[in-house]
Amino acid sequence: MEVDLLDFVEQCRHLAKQALGKHAGEPASGGFARWVHVVLHCFRLEDGHSYRETPNRLKYMTEIRDVLGLDRDDLPEFTTIYKSFDRLKMWVWRALLR
């Protein structure tokens, strides 16, 4: 059974907020909430594209931007997404895997 990408992103949002707990809304160093960074990485990996392609694809995916609370003109740069992956602590990824 194929998982709809929008459903996948919504599930990731729920799990990321749950895994991050009280830290979910705190902005990471890129200015976006931590849960947004986590969901962006999940979206990138599920859709199978590079860091550089992620903001470009999000420009044309209105529903996914709405789930993430991002405006078309306020998308993170690919370097922000790349750097945020290394900044997230291992406990975040472990909590998501549970």
Is residue 53 a contact partner of residue 46, using CB atoms and an 8 Å limit?
no
**Is residue 1 scored above 50 in pLDDT?**
no
24-36 as b/e, with b when 16 or more CB fall inside 10 Å? Answer: beeebebebbbbb
Tokens of 73: 């003109």
Look at residue 28 in the predicted model and tell me its pLDDT. Answer: 58
Q: What is the pLDDT of residues 28-84, one digit of tens each?
A: 565 788 899 899 999 998 889 899 999 999 999 999 999 999 999 889 899 988 888
Look at residue 3 in the predicted model and tell me its pLDDT. Answer: 61
Mean pLDDT for 3-8 is 86
The reported pTM is 0.85
